[in-house]
Amino acid sequence: MAAKEERWRELAEVKRELAERDWFPATSGNLSIKVSDGPLTFLVTASGKDKRKETDEDFLLIDEYGKPAETGHSLKPSAETLLHTYLYQKTDAGCCLHVHTVNNNVISELYGDEKQITFQGQEMIKALGLWEENASVTVPIIDNPAHIPALAENFAHHAAAGSGAVLIRNHGITAWGRTAFEAKRVLEAYEFLFSCHLKLLSLRPQLVK
């Protein structure tokens, strides 16, 4: 199967699973997966589509400058394609998932002023590749300027390493990994950590590190 078809299949599978969890409310969210290096090309979700549906117009191929790499269609890439472009230019990420969930939005507002949130001691942190005892992980929280290039700049500062995540205040999370499998694991791990944190916070605020 050609690389593009294989990556399309992988991204469609991740999209299906995230849609089953209802993680694309009101057509929000955007996903991408790298197809080639030298030159960089990647598939990104088409703008404004209902991501609970599956069609052969779900994704379009983008070049290293963030522009459509193929003609003969009228699809527009997601408005936030620039963030994905910067990520692939700066790291060896292979897949990037941006979703709006209630929990990631609430966490991003609660800790927006601190500009980050740290988790420590949860077993789930191993899913992020950190295996030592009492490991901790910190997620940066950036502001959400309406002007996408400004947002992309903010994001690019924190885009390092092949896997990771950045919260965008009152907006959502962008999580990435070297493969679709890793990106989905990273996203699921953080959403789990956010859910536990919020539930603990609602019960025993002082317990939350």
Our CB check for a second copy shows the closer of 84 and 184 to be 184
Query: Binding residue per annotation — 98?
Result: yes
Among residues 1, 55, 114, 203, the one that binds a second copy under rule CB under 8 A: 203
Report how far residue 20's alpha carbon sits from residue 77's, in angstroms, rounded to the nearest whole number.
23
**Nearest CA to 28 among 64, 78, 81?**
78
Interface size with a second copy, residues (CB under 8 A)? 52
Report how far residue 112's alpha carbon sits from residue 143's, in angstroms, rounded to the nearest whole number.
8
Report how far residue 73's alpha carbon sits from residue 71's, in angstroms, rounded to the nearest whole number.
6
Give Cβ neighbours of residue 182 (< 8 Å, ≥ 6 apart).
94, 95, 162, 163
- Does position 30 bind a second copy by CB under 8 A? no
x/- binding map, residues 178-197, to a second copy, per CB under 8 A? ---x--xxx-xx-xx--xx-
Sites for a second copy among residues 94-153 (CB under 8 A):
100, 102-103, 105-106, 109-110, 121-124, 127, 131-135, 144-147
Q: What is the DSSP letter of 45?
A: E
CB contact at 8 A, 45 and 59: yes
Among residues 4, 52, 90, 178, the one that binds a second copy under rule CB under 8 A: 52
Our CB check for a second copy shows the closer of 52 and 158 to be 52
**Nearest CA to 33 among 185, 186, 176?**
176
Among residues 36, 50, 114, 149, the one that binds a second copy under rule CB under 8 A: 50
Report how far residue 148's alpha carbon sits from residue 79's, in angstroms, rounded to the nearest whole number.
8
3-state SS class at 14: helix
Among residues 3, 5, 6, 21, the one that binds a second copy under rule CB under 8 A: 21
Report how far residue 166's alpha carbon sits from residue 108's, in angstroms, rounded to the nearest whole number.
10
Our CB check for a second copy shows the closer of 69 and 208 to be 208
Our CB check for a second copy shows the closer of 40 and 196 to be 196
Q: Which residues sit at the interface with a second copy, rule CB under 8 A?
A: 17, 21-22, 25-28, 50, 52, 100, 102-103, 105-106, 109-110, 121-124, 127, 131-135, 144-147, 168, 170-172, 181, 184-186, 188-189, 191-192, 195-196, 198-204, 207
